Amino acid sequence: MRILIVEDETKTGNYLRQGLGEAGFLADLARDGLDGMHLAITGDYDLLILDVMLPGLDGWQILQTVRHAGKAMPVLFLTARDQVEDRVKGLELGADDYLVKPFAFAELLARVRTLLRRGQTREPDSLRVADLEMDLIKRRVTRGGQRIDLTAKEFALLELLLRHTGEVLPRALISSQVWDMNFDSDTNVIEVAVRRLRAKIDEPFGHKLIRTVRGMGYVLDDPAQTP
Partner 1 sequence: MMHRSIALRFAITAFAGTALILAGLGVYLSRSVETHFAELDRAELTGALNHLAYMAQSGGTPDMATLLEQVRTMNMGHGALLVRIESRDGKILADTLGFSPPALRYDASRSTLVSATADGRNYRLLTAPFEAGRGRVLRAWVAMNIDHHQTFMSLFRNALWTAIGIALLLSLALSALAARWGLAPLDRLRMLLREVSGAHLAVRLDPADLPRELAGLAAEFNQMLARLDDAFRRLSQFSSDIAHELRTPVGNLMVETEVALGKARSIEEYQEVLYSNLEELRRLTAMIADMLFLARADNKLVTPNRERIDLQRTVADLCQWFEASAEEHRLHLIQAGTAGIEGDRMMVQRALSNLLANAIRHATPGSDIHIGIEHTGAAEVTLSVSNAGAAISPEHLPRLFDRFYQADPSRTRKGEGSGLGLAITRSIVEAHGGNVTVSSADGTTEFRMRFPTGATSG
In angstroms, give the least distance from the CB of 14 to partner 1: 17
Distance, in Å, from the CA atom of 109 to the CA atom of 18, rounded to the nearest integer, reads 12
Can you tell me which of 89, 196, 198, 200 binds partner 1, judged by CB under 8 A?
196
Q: How many CB atoms lie within 10 A of CB 214?
A: 6
Nearest alpha-carbon partner for 127 in 213, 221, 1: 221
In angstroms, give the least distance from the CB of 131 to partner 1: 25
**How many positions of this chain bind partner 1 (CB under 8 A)?**
23
Between 183 and 206, CB nearer to partner 1: 183
Per CB under 8 A, the segment of 9-17, 91-99, 112-120, 179-187 that binds partner 1 is 179-187
Give me the helices (H) in the chain, please.
10-22, 33-42, 59-68, 84-92, 105-117, 152-163, 171-179, 189-201
Nearest alpha-carbon partner for 183 in 198, 173, 194: 173
User: What is the end-to-end Cα distance of the chain in Å, rounded?
Assistant: 21
In angstroms, give the least distance from the CB of 167 to partner 1: 17
In angstroms, give the least distance from the CB of 203 to partner 1: 16
Residue pair 222/209 in contact (Cβ under 8 Å)? The answer is yes
Can you tell me which of 23, 53, 129, 216 binds partner 1, judged by CB under 8 A?
216
Q: Are strands 146-148 and 140-143 parallel, antiparallel or unpaired?
A: antiparallel
x-or-dash string of contact with partner 1, 122-161, rule CB under 8 A: -------------------------------x--------
Can you tell me which of 14, 18, 126, 188 binds partner 1, judged by CB under 8 A?
188
Q: Which residues bind partner 1 (CB under 8 A)?
A: 82, 84, 102, 104, 153, 175, 179-189, 192-193, 196, 214-216
